[in-house]
Amino acid sequence: MLFNSIDFAFFLPIVFILYWFVTYKNLRFQNVLLLVASYFFYACWDYRFLFLLVFSTFLDYLTGLKIHEAESRKKKLFWLWLSISVNLGFLGVFKYYNFFASSFANALIHIGLKANLGTINVILPVGISFYTFHGLSYILDIYKNKIKPVRDFIEYSVFVSFFPLLVAGPIERATHLLPQIQKKRYFDYSKAIDGLRQILWGLFKKIVIADNCAEYANQIFNHSSDYSGSTLVLGALFFTFQIYCDFSGYSDIALGTARIFGIELLRNFAFPYFSRDIAEFWRRWHISLSSWFRDYLYIPLGGSKGGAWFKVRNTLIIFVVSGFWHGANLTFIVWGLLNAIYFIPLLLLNKNRTNLGIIAQGKCLPNFKEFLQMSFTFGITVFAWIFFRANSLEQAVNYISGIFSKSTFSIPEFTGSENFLSLVFLIFLFLIIEWVGREQQYAIAKLGLNWYKPIRWAIYYSLIFAIFYYGGKEQQFIYFQF
C-alpha cells in the first residue's frame, strides 16, 4: 500500500477512528490494533513476505530475552551472533546473493575459469533493510546493557512493524520508540493538526515535485546517449530533486501519520540541500541511517580516535557500507566512495563539525561565503547522484562524459518540454518555501499560523489542488527498493 494511493486514503481514517474512538480506553487494544493494521498494510504489498517480517520479529524478541538472561558472556555472544547471522543472512539472500554470484563468476572468467553459479529470481521484500536494522539495533542495545528486553511480544512487534515507518523508515531506536508504545497515549488536537499539515507537505513533495521530476529524469537517464550535455545536466538536477522530495516526502508523511496516533518518530531530513559542506549534508540527509551507522559501526570501529589512517579507514568503511546498503550494484559503492572522498579532507583538517547550526539563522538570505559554500556542496552532491541513478558504471561514465562536452553550452532539448517551465516554477517555489521554513521541523510547520485565517487556508487548499492536479500516477517511492 502506497502513501500516495486511494487505498491509503481510506485505510488511514478507518484506523484513526478505531484507534481514538473504539480502543482508546485500553492501551493493549490500541497496540493490537496498530499491529493488525501494520500487518494488513504490509500484506497489501505482498502477503507472502509477511511471514518473513513475523519471523524476524520473533527471532529478535527471543534472542533479546536470551541475551539478557544469559549468565556468561559466551552465551550472550552466541545469541547475539545468532540474531545477526540470521537477519543478515535473509538480507544477503534476498538483496545481495545475485550480485555476489555474478561478481564471483565474472572474476573467475578473468582468470580463465568458468563457473555456472545460478541466480535466484525473487522479489526484494519491501522494507527488509529497514525492519532488519530495527531489530539489530534492539539486540545490540540489549547486549550493551543500554536497555532491557521487552517482555510483551505485542509491544515489541509494534516497535518493529509500526506501519508509518515499516517500509522506508525512519530507522527507529528502541530507546526512543518503545517507551511511547508502552505508555498510555492521549489525543492531542494540536499535534494531530500538525501531523496532518506535515502529511500534506509530504504529499506535495512526492506527488507534485518528485513524480514530475521523475518523468524528465527517467526520460533523460534512460536515453542519455541521445541528449546534449546541457540536457544531461538538467537530468541530473531533476533526479536530485526527485530523490530528495520522494524520500523526504515519504518521511514527512510517516512522521505526520505517526503524530496523529500520538507517537513521535525520529526526524529523517533537515533541509540537506542548504548544507555548507558535505559533513553537514550527511548530518541532515537520511539522519536515522547515518546515526545508525555512526553508533553501531563507526564508533565500534574506533570512530575518529587514533591516527589519520585510522580515521580514513573507518570513514571509507562507513561510506562503502552505506552505499552497499542502498543496493547490490557497483554504482552505489562508487557513490559511497565518492562521498567518502568529499568527506575525508574535512575530517583530516578537523573541519567536519564546523557547520553545526542552521545556515543564515535568523536572516532572510545567506552571506556571500555561505552562498558559495552551499552552491559548491549542492554541485558535488548532484554529481554524486549521477552514479546513484545510473544503471551501470558504464552508463554513469558516459553520462558524465556527455556533460563535459561542448554540447553542454547548447540549449536543452527533449520530448515533453511543454510542461518544463511549469515544473521549473514549482521547483523554484518549493525551494523558497523550504528556505523560509528551514528553521522548523518541516517547511510549512509554522507557515501562515499567525496570518489571517482565510489566507492560511488558501495556502493549504492550493497545495491540495496542486496534489490533485498533478497526481494520478501513484508512482512507487524510490526507497521501497532499498
199-217 average pLDDT score: 94
Summarised one tens digit per residue, pLDDT across range 66-92 is 999 998 999 999 999 999 999 999 888
Q: Are residues 158 and 208 in the same domain?
A: no
In sequence order, which ranges of 70-188 are alpha helices (DSSP H)?
Answer: 73-91, 97-110, 128-143, 153-161, 174-182
Summarised one tens digit per residue, pLDDT across range 410-422 is 888 766 656 788 8
Q: Are residues 171 and 210 in the same domain?
A: no
Query: Residue for cell digits 520479529?
Result: 57
Segment (H or E) for 459: helix 453-470
With left for phi above 0 and alpha for psi between -120 and 50, is residue 278 left, alpha or beta? alpha
Q: How far apart are CA 147 and CA 328, in angstroms?
A: 33
State how far Cα 26 lies from the chain centre: 33
Q: Are residues 371 and 441 in the same domain?
A: yes
Looking at the domain assignment, is residue 329 inside a domain?
no
Confidence of residue 111 (pLDDT cuts 50, 70, 90): low
Q: Are residues 268 and 403 in the same domain?
A: yes
Residues 6 or more apart whose Cβ sits within 8 Å of residue 15:
33, 34, 37
CB contact at 8 A, 118 and 26: no
Query: Residue for cell digits 510517516?
Result: 254
Confidence of residue 478 (pLDDT cuts 50, 70, 90): confident
Q: How far apart are CA 5 and CA 475, in angstroms?
A: 9
CB contact at 8 A, 176 and 266: yes
User: Which pLDDT belongs to residue 94?
Assistant: 78
Assess whether 326 carries a catalytic annotation: yes
Looking at the domain assignment, is residue 322 inside a domain?
no
User: Which pLDDT belongs to residue 428?
Assistant: 96
Beta strand extents in 140-267 (DSSP E only): none
Q: Are residues 215 and 266 in the same domain?
A: yes
Mean pLDDT of the chain: 90
Looking at the domain assignment, is residue 283 inside a domain?
no
| Whether pLDDT at 376 is above 60 | yes
Q: Are residues 377 and 442 in the same domain?
A: yes
| Whether pLDDT at 104 is above 60 | no
292-321 average pLDDT score: 90
Confidence of residue 280 (pLDDT cuts 50, 70, 90): very high
Looking at the domain assignment, is residue 19 inside a domain?
yes
CB atoms within 10 A of CB 309: 8
Q: How far apart are CA 247 and CA 279, in angstroms?
A: 20
Domain that holds residue 123: 6-187
Q: How far apart are CA 421 and CA 412, in angstroms?
A: 12
Q: Would you give the DSSP letter of residue 477?
A: P
**CA-based nearest residue to 229, from 411, 88, 102:** 411
With left for phi above 0 and alpha for psi between -120 and 50, is residue 169 left, alpha or beta? left
| Whether pLDDT at 387 is above 70 | yes
Q: Would you give the DSSP letter of residue 12?
A: H
Q: Are residues 117 and 235 in the same domain?
A: no
Q: Are residues 378 and 254 in the same domain?
A: yes
Confidence of residue 222 (pLDDT cuts 50, 70, 90): very high
Looking at the domain assignment, is residue 204 inside a domain?
yes
User: Which pLDDT belongs to residue 369?
Assistant: 96
**CA triple 12-8-434, angle to 5 deg:** 90
Looking at the domain assignment, is residue 345 inside a domain?
no
**CA triple 332-336-337, angle to 5 deg:** 115
The fraction of the chain above a pLDDT of 70, given in percent, is 92
User: How many independent structural domains does the chain possess?
Assistant: 2
CB atoms within 10 A of CB 47: 11
Where is the domain boundary, 165, 187, 209? Answer: 187
DSSP for 391-448, written as a single string? SSHHHHHHHHHHHTSGGGGSPP--TTGGGHHHHHHHHHHHHHHHHHTTTSSSTTSSTT
Q: Are residues 198 and 181 in the same domain?
A: no
- Count of alpha carbons within 13 angstroms of residue 155, beta-carbon side: 16
CB contact at 8 A, 132 and 91: yes
Which residue among the candidates 110, 134, 223, 326 is catalytic per the annotation? 326
pTM of the model: 0.93
Where is the domain boundary, 167, 187, 207? Answer: 187
Where is the domain boundary, 169, 187, 205? Answer: 187
Helix, strand, coil % in the chain, rounded to nearest 5: 70, 0, 30
Looking at the domain assignment, is residue 468 inside a domain?
yes
Q: Are residues 82 and 200 in the same domain?
A: no
Q: Are residues 150 and 205 in the same domain?
A: no
Q: Are residues 255 and 360 in the same domain?
A: yes
Looking at the domain assignment, is residue 336 inside a domain?
no
Q: How far apart are CA 220 and CA 398, in angstroms?
A: 13
User: Which pLDDT belongs to residue 122?
Assistant: 65
